[in-house]
A = this chain, B = another copy of it.
Amino acid sequence: MQDLLFDFISKYISISEDEKNAIISLDIFRSVKKGTILLKEGQNSKESYFVLKGCIRTYYVLDGDEKTTAFYTEMDALTPHCVTSKTPSQYYINCIEDSILLISNTDMEEEVNTKFPKFDIMCRMFSSELLAKNKVDFDEFKTSSPEQRYLNLLQKRPDLIQRVPQHQLASYLGIKPQSLSRLKARILEKDKG
C-alpha cells in the first residue's frame, strides 16, 4: 500500500530508500471506517489527508441539509481550508468508504522537514499543479450546463457515479436530486430516440 505513495511521490521528485524509511517512521498511515467524520464544522483542525484507497467527501450543512462539494478518491490530496487559514472549518469531511489514508499534521512539519528535506519542493510542485487543475475544473463547471456536467463526469470519473449516492452526486453537480433523476431520464430518452 505504501508503494502507491512512493510511486506517487516519484512523479515529482527522486526519493531514496533512506527517505522512504524516514516517511514510514513518521507513522502517518491510517485505516478509517466508512462513516467516520474526519472534520466537523467549527473545528480548528491541523490535519491534511491523502487517499491511498477509498473515498472521502467534503460537505456543508446549509439550511439544515447537506451540500456535497467534493469527493476525494485514490491519489487525491486534501488540505482543508481551516488548516491554511487557521479559522474554524465551514464544512465537514466524511469517510464514505472503508479507506486507507495518509494523515499528516502541521505540528509535524519540522520533523517532516528534517527527515525528508525535499518535502517543501515536492509540496510546491504538487499544490501548484493541483491549483491549476482545480481552476480548470472550476472553469469547466462555469461554462457548462448541469446536463453537460453530468455527461462530462460520466467520461472523466465514471467510477464516482457508481460508488457515490445520487443525492450527494446531485449537489456535487450543483443541482437538486430530483433534477439529477430527471436529467438522467432525459439523456436515456435521447439515446433511445
Contacts and interface: CB of A to CB of B under 8 A. Distances in A.
Q: How large is the interface on A (under 10, 10 to 19, 20 to 34, 35 or more residues)?
A: 35 or more
A1 to B, nearest CB: 25
Nearest to A125: B84
Interface in A136-189: 136-139, 141-143, 171-172, 174
Interface string A99-119: 000000000000000000000
A80 interface: yes
B143 A67 contact: yes
Contacts of A124: 120, 123-124, 127
B139 A60 contact: yes
Given A84-B132, A131-B134, 15 more contacts: A79-B128, A79-B132, A81-B132, A81-B135, A85-B132, A91-B139, A120-B124, A123-B128, A124-B124, A124-B127, A127-B128, A134-B135, A138-B141, A142-B171, A143-B171
4 interchain residue pairs of minimum CB distance: A69-B139, A81-B132, A124-B124, A142-B174
